[in-house]
Amino acid sequence: METNQNQNGAVNKKVYISMIIVLILLNTFTFYMYFQSKNTTTDLTSQKIELQHLFSDLSDTLNVRNTTVEQFRGKNAELDKSIAEKQEQMDQQKTEIKKLLSKNKMTKGELDKANALIAEYKTSISDMTAQVDELKKQNQELTASNERLNTDLTTERSTTSKLTEQNQGLSKKVAVGSLFQIAKVDVAAVKTRNNGKEVEVRKAKAAQNLRIKFETGENKVLDPGTVPLYVRIINPKGETIAVADQGSGTVEAADTKEPIQYTKKADIDYNQTNKTVVVYWGMNIKDPGTYKVEVIQSGHVVGQGAVQLS
């Protein structure tokens, strides 16, 4: 009887010990799982914070790039379109990443997804950077090309200006060279006697006409043909004698472009050889004094003379 009791006691003791061991193992497993879960949660939180920092840095980089892009918009339509598409793609990625990172607690799957999206976001920014650099390169090349064109244009304008000045100078020389060099203009008061003979007179009241006579000389520069000359008679009062219905009028001065009043026009038929020209004028010459005469060609005074009448 006593032996059975001892045996039962030994069995119960073993059972108690087994139960204690099981309880210890259960507690140990529970504590292990608790700490493992805690460590996993801590690790996920740490990774989330790192991703948030990375995402923030990438967003700052993108903002800088966007500012740079705006400076070059409109210079390349094809590249503008590509960059716009890339920006739209990045906006979508950015929205998804923000949505995931805004959660208080993230699962490992969500964290992995956020990590993958951030990697894509980073690649998109790299692509954007490459396109911006390409746009900068194209703009620099375009600027350099424009500078070369402006330099060439400036050089061409300078050359054109010099040629124009040379041509103008040559034209002036040709114009001056085509003028008559009239050394002397003989001016005399004359009247015609009854026998038809013309004689010179010294008194203004006796004068019927002023006779203006000069020689053109030879000029091989001036083309053959009709050459208009304008005779200007200035009375003793300093006034130009002009009578409209007798052919008087005005001609433009070559230098000042101001109108010069003339007394009579004389068209001569010139063939590059010396020609004697005689012009008569018989109106408004009754006052005593000095009558001055100018011969005008192409707005230039090419000959002068005078006569004193009493």
Same domain, 133 and 218: no
Same domain for 268 and 195: yes
Examine residue 88 and state whether it is found in any structural domain, yes or no. yes
Average pLDDT for 205-213 = 95
- Answer yes or no: do 200 and 114 share one domain: no
- Of residues 194 and 104, more confidently modeled: 194
Tokens of 47: 């990774």
301 in the same domain as 219: yes
Judged against a pLDDT cut of 50, whether residue 39 lies above it is answered with no
Which residue, of 110, 128, 143, is where some domain finishes?
143
Q: Are strands 225-234 and 289-297 parallel, antiparallel or unpaired?
A: antiparallel
Any domain includes 276? yes
- What percentage of the chain exceeds 90 in pLDDT? 35
- Burial state string for 218-233 with b = 16 or more CB within 10 A and e = fewer than 16: ebeebeeeebebbbbb
192 with 128, same domain: the answer is no
Count structural domains, the chain. Answer: 2
User: What is the mean pLDDT of the segment spanning 30-48?
Assistant: 54
Q: Is 231 inside a domain boundary?
A: yes
The overall average pLDDT reported for the chain is 78
Q: Please identify, among 109, 127, 143, the residue that sits at the C-terminal boundary of a domain.
A: 143
For residue 228, what is the domain's CATH number? 2.60.40.2560
pLDDT at position 140 is 76
Same domain, 128 and 202: no
Q: Which are the contacts of 232, defined by CB distance < 8 A and separation ≥ 6? A: 240, 260, 261, 262, 263, 293, 294, 295, 296
Determine if residue 177 is left, alpha or beta; phi over 0 gives left, psi from -120 to 50 gives alpha, anything else beta: alpha
Q: What is the pLDDT of residue 64?
A: 60
Residue 179 within a domain: no
| Residue 158 included in any domain | no
Q: What pLDDT score does 134 carry? A: 75
Domain that holds residue 257: 185-309
Q: Which of 113, 143, 173 is the last residue of a domain?
A: 143
Are 135 and 8 within one domain? yes
Do residue 76 and residue 207 come from a single domain? Answer: no
Do 27 and 138 have their domain in common?
yes
Does residue 170 sit within a domain?
no
Range in 135-139, 204-208, 279-283 with the lowest mean pLDDT: 135-139
Q: Is the domain of 137 the same as that of 195?
A: no
Q: Are residues 110 and 218 in the same domain?
A: no
Does the residue 178 lie in any domain? no
Task: Output the six-digit token pair for 188.
Answer: 């005399």
The answer to whether residue 238 is domain-embedded is: yes
* pLDDT, tens only, 231-262: 999 999 999 999 999 989 999 998 899 999 99
| 6 lies in the same domain as 109 | yes
